[in-house]
Amino acid sequence: MSLRSKLFGGDPKLEAAAVSDPAHITIGAKGEHVRKIQLALTLLDDANIDLDGAYGPETAAAVLDYKKKRNIINRSYQTQADDIVGKMTIASLDREMHQRERVPRPPIRIVPKSNWVMGSQRNPTLFTLARRSGSLALNASAIGTAPRFGQINLNIEPKELRLLPGTTGLITVEDGAPGTVQVIGDPFINAPPIVHLSDGLITSVGLQVVDNRQTFRVIAGPVAGTTMIVASLAIPDPDNPPPVAIEVTVLGNILRGRIQSAPAGSLGFDTDQPINLDVAKKFARQNFKFCLRYLSFGPHQGTGDLTTKEANQILDGGLALMPVQHPRNPWWVATAALGASDGDNAVKNARSVGFSPGVNVWVDLEGPGEITAIVARHFH
């Protein structure tokens, strides 16, 4: 007689073990048929074992416990239970799994629990202070007075979640046991019960869901990107609830603050020296409103140039922040090619620090020998 459960039915090795003594499953066996036995033991008997498809000592001990509880003993030659999965054990596991599978299951849910963030709450309004007394106009800056993120509403089921790089969020997968959680795309996941969102080459890895309301930690790596977390039942069946998916985005470096207009006559300063939190607070107490800090004209920020950490300390100190690109050495020759490359680098470096689109990036043009062309780059 064929096995009836969806988990066991149709598996050649399990079907053979149900009718043939030589096909019994013992320590040392490996494969998908072993993983199915492990999954059944976990679901039916709360066995604390790895679902690795290897019939090792832990799995053997779980089999023995299962058989002892149900008094599964072949009286023709045994006086006590053993740790072998034979005809009687397969029949018992199959019967219990079949009964479990017949119980209607509600839809699977992926429910965020904590530490997730909403999209940006920045005000994209730009400003320009009029040119006065020959001085250059000031422009948009990131102000650190309003919270950058708010907590999501945990009473709803959002279709998208967001994490800052290096942070951790929690999700539960409800009504999905037995099931799997998959991440499709890059970033990716590995070792359960942790969902790692990081840069990598693996595009789809499965984690086992063995308990209802099983919690997963979702850890954002350092690289921005978007992926899908998909939860589905481990036993395919058209009558079972369909998979559910939620989009997870690892945000790039984004400074804490919003773009905001500044009052006329705002007092500020520029400096080529890094500013820490204490210094920023001192300037703020003296009624300075903004600080200009330097970006490299090269492809990467150099030593002493503005970093994300310094930018957030300036903002946390109560100052607005504007980026300006370093000048080249005196008597440099301005060309269209340099204008294009320097402009591109300014945008790239501003983004690497965490400035949002809409912020003006100033270019320091002092010291050129001659100017042949000016090329503008828009920061989108």
57 conformational bin, left if phi > 0, alpha if psi -120 to 50, beta if neither: alpha
pLDDT digits (tens, 9 = 90+) for 282-336: 999 999 988 999 999 898 899 999 998 898 889 888 888 889 999 888 777 878 8
Query: Model confidence over 66-102: pLDDT tens digits?
Result: 999 999 999 988 899 999 999 999 999 999 999 988 8
Confidence at 190, pLDDT banded by 50, 70, 90: very low
Question: Which carries the bigger pLDDT value, residue 239 or residue 285?
Answer: 285
Do residues 186 and 199 touch, judged by C-beta distance below 8 A?
yes
Domains of the chain: 12-101 (1.10.101.10), 109-117+147-250 (2.60.40), 267-371 (3.20.20.80)
Least confident of 85-94, 148-157, 263-272, 316-325: 148-157
Buried/exposed 141-176: b ≥16 CB within 10 Å, e otherwise: bbbbeeebbeebeeeeebeebbbbbeeebebbbbbb
pLDDT of the residue at 112? 84
Instruction: Kindly report, residue by residue over 13-71, the tens digit of the pLDDT.
Output: 999 999 999 999 999 999 999 999 998 998 899 888 888 899 999 999 999 999 999 99
What is the reported pTM? 0.50
- DSSP 8-state class, residue 121: -
